[in-house]
Chain A
Amino acid sequence: MAKINLTINNQSYKFEAEEDMPLLWAIRDYVGLKGTKYGCGIAQCGACTVHLDGVAVRSCQLPIGTLSKKQKITTIEGIGTPETLSAVQEAWVEEQVPQCGYCQSGQIMSAVAMLAENPNPTDEDIDAYMIGNLCRCGTYDRIRKAIHRAAGQTAEEDLGKR
């Protein structure tokens, strides 16, 4: 057991837990934020994606003992709420991306991190950056459109559709 001190969404959380516990389970079961999801536990699906100092990481791969309170962790709850959606979430709503929605926290965390790095991604950039996020419901086409929309470049083929 170790004393854990994490900074998540600008709030500090202190609790005792095993150091080898992946951040994913600490966020879900100790901090109580359920937006970050478990899908595979082996860095294959991206459902657990959060930001560590602004960089998208798979929280199932980060033992909490390796983290310090100086590192800023952001989860989907830190991006926006249903009442105050962020621009990326707004684009997700406009494109009606989610089906079940289970993968979408991770998709959005990856997209937000990508757009911070690259405000005008091409389709190839999106392919490369989003490859780690699986969606079993098959919403990839809409995710792509939503990213373009959030980047201010409505996908060409989408013009005049609705």
Chain B
Amino acid sequence: MQTKNTRRDFIKLSSLGGLGLVLGINVAGHAEPVKKIAAKVLELEINPFIIIATDGTITLVNSRPDMGQGSTQAVPSILAEELEVDLKSVQLVQSDGKEKYGAQQSGGSSTVRGLWDNLRRTGAAAKQMLIETAAKRWRVSIDQCYAENARVYLKNSDKSFGYGELAEEASNLEIPQNPVLKDPKNYRYLGKYHKRLDVPSRVTGTAVFGIDVEVPGMLYAATVHPPSVQGKIKTIDDSEAIKIRGVRRVVKTTAYYPGGNTEAVAVVADNYWSALKASRLLKIIWDNGDLAENLNSEKYTKDMYLAAEKEGVRYEEDGDFNAFYNASENKLEAIYETPFLSHAAIEPVNATAHVKSDGTVDVWAPIQGPDGALSETAQLLGVAPDKIKIHAMLLGGSFGRKAFMNFMKEAIDLSKQMDAPVKLIWSREEDMSQGPYRPAMLSKMQGVIGRGNSLAALSHQAIGESIQGQHWGALMPYQADNWLGGELSKENHKYNFPVHKVTYSRVKTPIPILWWRSVYASNFGWGQECFIDEMAHKAGKDPIEVRRELLKGNNRDLKVLETLELALQRAPKMAEGNARGIAMFRSFETMSAAAVEVANTEDGIKIVKVTSVIDCGQYVNPDHVKAQTEGNIVMGISAAVKGGITFSNGKCDQSNFHDYQFMRMAEMPKVEVHIIDNLEKPGGVGEPGLPPIAPALGNAIFNLTGQRHRKLPLDLSVV
């Protein structure tokens, strides 16, 4: 795969002379010639393309930007499998947001599970057309032919055609609506370990991330946003700033927040250092209204605890929980708390834009969804989408953050104001203190232990700000946020409580929030899974045993639990005095379980080892699954034991990696990842490993110390 061509324009490519087969797929997942489907693509979930040029060059389109999850390998692997081409010999281009590529957002752990079926069909349809063409030329039936490594061969002969030789003629054929898919037994890529082809570029500094974009004649910008988010500018004194050599202008631009826009100030200069340095010399007086009081995480937390005293809005209920709970004697109640978190990708948010005088626009940015970037750019400028070119760059991490594209819109506005290409980079301080953040939430848990010490009833009241509500005002007071309701539903955890209730209490805050790796599952896994252990303890049962009972009849999830149990039994004996806790949580259609082993040391509690099990159904590459799960272990531990984001006096208290920490090398425990192999529908991979980590740790600490901790983050040196 040549990464050099990643940003080549597909449109230009396909208008080259001598073009052969170009395939897309339609709503039903059937392959169609691209030109014919232009009008229909609106409803497409996906619309990937295979382009076979008559010279034999094969180009595959990756429609999902790569933020570290491996889509630049996973997506072409699915296509290449059915098309029968060698991944090493294809070119890969990143989709540019145009409608014909369908949904292009990397997010919701959707890359593989969203593309699996349709990409396989697209690849298989193209292969079938190439085989048909060759069979016609040889005047044989198609079963006399087979495809391998971008060639069609005639069985028992030395005859063959390269795909390029067949492409033009093949493109005139009727597209098979139900192409024969490969038997998984014969997979060459899917489910197999393959090295990622782009790793050499990622270890030599040659991979081009958003922040690395260079456009001739470009200027550099640094923005200062309201330190109290949503504050308004009163006065700007730029007299010191403009003295810095290289500074071109100090301009106002829009500061975008989920709850409403205000203004920011940008310094535009010849080079980034000048812009950054000058931005720190700006003297801006802000009008903060009541923000000093309301931008306050402590106040928000208090409000959440107050809300916990009242009944929430019902999302679902089996039986009459309250009546049952009130009439029961053997019951328990506890409130669990999770903090605000920053995504803190090491590449800060940035974007380069060129709004040209001829009315066309180019945007280069590390964004999760080129389609959303295209429509937001069109809307912002009032320019038709066909005048806009989105170059979706590699992302130096994102975890949800770069799907909120305020930084991109700023760069576009600055380019327009400066009438030049502008590269905007948010300093780490801006990136850290502006959000949006993973919301802080509470889980109020109530449970009843029934006859025979069975776990009879569970209620989970989710409390806190709603992402949908804050961003789109889309939540009525009588509605329970269905994102979090879905995560906590019986349908999702599949625990067989005869009496069960999920409610939601919205507590508003102006602190900007956003989805963060695994979204609400990262909050509520903590309450749900620690509380199941609390109930088990009260019922005098083993945590694994209790979950086995609750999951009775659900063989797939039981297998996950069993695999974890077995892994723990097989592992070397724990050191004397160590303890373990477990937890499991399903998100994005994937069940993941984890066991955390902890030790008591002189410096407090040490995390010795994490064992994770993941059942994501079919997958592309076991090493991607393993790597993502390892990443989730690290991010899950960081979320549990490192300080969160807090706001006091209207400002974020954290500004950089010294006061917003996450795990470093020396804290890294041993990790072990087990993947369940089956032929189930692919589930998510990028996020589901995270939610069980914090509760497994909480349960381990309880087993070690007898202390039940319910508030994150935990300070391991003192718990």
Counting chain B CB atoms within 10 Å of each CB, the highest count among A20, A79, A99 belongs to A99
- Is A18 in contact with B245, judged by CB distance below 8 angstroms? yes
Of A40, A135, A157, most buried by chain B (CB within 10 Å of CB) is A40
Q: Is A59 an interface residue (CB 8 A)?
A: no
Determine if A137 is an interface residue (Cβ-Cβ < 8 Å): yes
CB contact under 8 A between A47 and B346, given known A18-B274, A82-B201, A96-B196: yes
A115 nearest CB across to chain B (Å): 15
Q: Which residues of B contact A22 (CB under 8 A)?
A: 273
- Name the interface residues of B628-659: CB closer than 8 Å to any CB of A: 628, 630-635, 656-658
Assess whether B206 is in contact with A82, with CB atoms less than 8 Å apart.
Answer: yes
Q: How far is the CB of A32 from chain B (nearest CB, A)?
A: 7
Complex contacts, A70 vs chain B, CB 8 Å: none
Q: Within the complex, which residue of A1, A36, A80 is in contact with B204, where a contact is CB–CB below 8 Å?
A: A80
Set of chain A residues within 8 Å of B493, measured between Cβ atoms:
none
Please indicate which of the listed interface residues A20, A39, A79 has the most CB atoms of chain B within 10 Å of its own CB.
Answer: A39
Contact of A131 among B195, B271, B631, B665 (CB under 8 A): B665
A37→B635 contact, CB < 8 A = no
Q: Are B202 and A32 in contact (CB under 8 A)?
A: no
The reply on A126 being an interface residue by CB < 8 A is yes
* Interface presence of B214 (CB below 8 A): yes
- Contacting residues of chain A (95-115) with chain B, CB-CB under 8 angstroms: 96-105, 108
Closest to B672 in A: A157
Report the Cα distance A140→B665, complex, angstroms. Answer: 6
Instruction: Give min CB distance, B71 to chain A, whole Å.
Output: 11
Q: Give A65-115 interface residues, CB cut-off 8 Å to B.
A: 75-77, 79-82, 85, 89, 92-93, 96-105, 108
Q: Is B306 an interface residue (CB 8 A)?
A: no
Instruction: Flag if B68 contacts A137 (CB, 8 Å).
Output: yes
- Are A99 and B664 neighbours in the complex by a CB distance under 8 Å? no
User: Given A96-B196, A136-B662 in contact, is the A35-B344 Cβ separation under 8 Å?
Assistant: no
Report A-chain residues with C-beta under 8 Å of the C-beta of B623.
96
Partner among B67, B273, B425 whose Cβ is within 8 Å of the Cβ of A18: B273
Which residues in chain B, 27-78, are within 8 Å of chain A measured between CB atoms? 66-70
**Which residues of B (158-203) have their CB < 8 Å from a CB of A?**
193, 195-196, 199-203
> Who on chain B is nearest to A132 by CB?
B664
Say whether B271 contacts A25, CB under 8 Å: yes
Highest count of chain B CB atoms <10 Å: which of A75, A76, A102, A108: A102
Contact B346 A102 (CB under 8 A): yes
Q: Per-residue 0/1 for A25-63: is the Cβ within 8 Å of any B Cβ (1 yes, 0 no)? A: 100111011111111111011010000000000000000
Most B CB atoms within 10 A — which of A18, A21, A98, A130?
A98
Q: How far is the CB of B663 from chain A (nearest CB, A)?
A: 7
Least distance between B400 CB and chain A CB atoms (Å): 12
Q: In the complex, A76→B204 CA distance in Å?
A: 6
Number of A-B contacts (CB under 8 A): 189
CA distance A138 to B669 in the complex (A): 11
Among A76, A130, A157, which residue has its beta carbon within 8 angstroms of that of B205? A76
The answer to whether A103 touches B205, judged by C-beta atoms less than 8 angstroms apart, is: no
A contact residues around B207 at 8 Å (CB): 101
Could you give, for residues 4-29 of chain A, a 1 whenever the CB lies within 8 Å of some chain B CB and a 0 otherwise? 00000000000001101110010011
Q: Are B665 and A144 in contact, with the CB atoms below 8 A?
A: yes
What is the CA–CA distance of A112 and B193 in the complex, to the nearest angstrom? 28
Contact B395 A44 (CB under 8 A): no
Across the interface, B195 reaches (CB within 8 A) one of A96, A103, A143, namely A96
Whether the Cβ atoms of A131 and B272 lie closer than 8 Å is no
Cβ A134 vs Cβ B664 within 8 A? yes
Please measure, in the bound complex, the distance between the C-alpha atom of A28 and the C-alpha atom of B271, giving whole angstroms: 10
Quick one: closest B residue to A110, CB to CB? B665
- CB contact between A137 and one of B195, B631, B664, B670 (< 8 Å): that residue: B631
Q: Which of B69, B208, B665 contacts A34 (CB 8 A)?
A: B208
CA distance A25 to B345 in the complex (A): 19
Q: Find out whether the CB atom of B664 lies under 8 angstroms from the CB atom of A25.
A: no
The reply on A117 being an interface residue by CB < 8 A is no
Q: Give the interface SS of chain B, mostly helix, strand, loop or mixed.
A: loop
Q: Is there contact, CB below 8 Å, between A34 and B346?
A: no
Measured between beta carbons, the chain A residues less than 8 angstroms from B212 are 34
| Docked-complex contact B665 and A143, CB < 8 angstroms | yes
Q: Which of B203, B205, B427, B665 contacts A33 (CB 8 A)?
A: B205
Pick from A25, A77, A137 the residue with the most CB of B within 10 Å: A137
A21–B277 Cα distance when bound, in Å, is 9
Which chain B residues border A40 with CB–CB below 8 Å? 428, 656-657
A96-B195, A138-B633 known; A102+B665 contact, CB < 8 A: no
Within the complex, what minimum Cβ distance (angstroms) separates B434 from chain A?
15
Given A41-B427, A100-B68, also A35-B245 (CB < 8 A)? no
Query: Which chain A residues border B205 with CB–CB below 8 Å?
Result: 33-36, 75-77, 105
Q: Which of B195, B395, B630, B633 contacts A142 (CB 8 A)?
A: B630
Contact indicator B666/A131 (Cβ below 8 Å): yes
> Contact between B196 and A85 (Cβ–Cβ < 8 Å)?
no
Which residues of the other chain, B, contact A93 by a CB distance below 8 angstroms?
A: 195, 199-200, 203
Could you say which of A32, A101, A136 contacts B203, with CB atoms under 8 Å apart? A101
Question: How far does the Cβ of B659 sit from chain A's closest Cβ, in whole Å?
Answer: 10
In the complex, what residue of chain B is closest to A130 when comparing beta carbons? B665
A79 to B634, CA, bound (A): 28
Chain A min CB distance to B297 (Å): 22
Of residues B200, B203, B209, B632, which shows the largest number of chain A Cβ atoms within 10 Å of its Cβ? B203
Whether A96 lies near B630 (C-beta < 8 A) is: no
Q: Kindly state whether residue B593 has any CB partner on chain A within 8 Å.
A: no
Determine if B397 is an interface residue (Cβ-Cβ < 8 Å).
Answer: yes
A38-B203 in contact (CB<8A): no
Q: Does A159 contact B (CB under 8 A)?
A: no
Please, which residue of chain B has its CB at the minimum distance from the CB of A101?
B202
Q: Does A116 sit at the interface, judged by CB under 8 A?
A: no
Which of A38, A76, A81 is within 8 Å of B348, CB to CB?
A: A38
Q: Which of A85, A104, A108, A128 has the most CB of B within 10 A?
A: A104
Contact for A25 among B204, B273, B671, CB less than 8 A: B273
- B634's nearest neighbour on chain A, judged by CB, is A138
Query: Closest approach, in angstroms, between the C-beta of B522 and any C-beta of chain A?
Result: 14
Q: Is the CB of B663 within 8 A of A140?
A: yes
A149 CB to closest chain B CB (Å) equals 13
If the complex has contacts A104-B203, A136-B397, are A99 and B657 also in contact, measured as CB distance less than 8 A? no
Task: Select A30's contact among B70, B203, B271, B663, beta carbons within 8 Å.
Answer: B271
- Interface digits, B666-677 against A, CB 8 Å rule (1 contact, 0 not)? 101011000000
> For residue A44, which residue of chain B has the nearest CB?
B657
Q: Could you say which residues of chain A place their CB within 8 Å of the CB of B657?
A: 39-40, 42, 44-45, 134
**Is B656 a contact of A99 with CB atoms below 8 Å?**
no
Report the bound CA distance from A142 to B671 in whole Å. 10
Interface: B589 (CB within 8 A) = no
Kindly state the separation between the CA atoms of A28 and B436 in the bound complex, as whole angstroms: 28
- On whether the beta carbons of B345 and A136 are closer than 8 Å, the reply is yes
CB nearest to B659 among chain A residues:
A44
A102 vs B277: C-alpha distance when bound (angstroms): 24
Q: Are A82 and B668 in contact (CB under 8 A)?
A: no
Judge whether B668 and A144 touch: CB under 8 Å.
yes
Interface readout for A132-162 with B: 1 if CB under 8 Å, 0 if not?
0111111111111000000000000100001
- Say which residue of B211, B277, B627 sits within 8 Å of A96 (CB atoms): B627
The answer to whether B668 and A162 touch across the interface, beta carbons within 8 angstroms, is: no
Which of A105, A134, A144 sits near B662, CB closer than 8 Å?
Answer: A134
7 contacts between A and B (CB under 8 A): A21-B271, A25-B271, A29-B271, A89-B203, A97-B203, A101-B202, A141-B670
Given contact pairs A100-B209, A102-B209, enumerate 19 new A-B contacts (beta carbons under 8 Å).
A17-B271, A25-B271, A25-B273, A39-B428, A39-B657, A42-B658, A76-B204, A82-B200, A96-B196, A100-B67, A100-B345, A100-B396, A101-B207, A104-B203, A126-B665, A131-B664, A134-B657, A135-B346, A142-B630
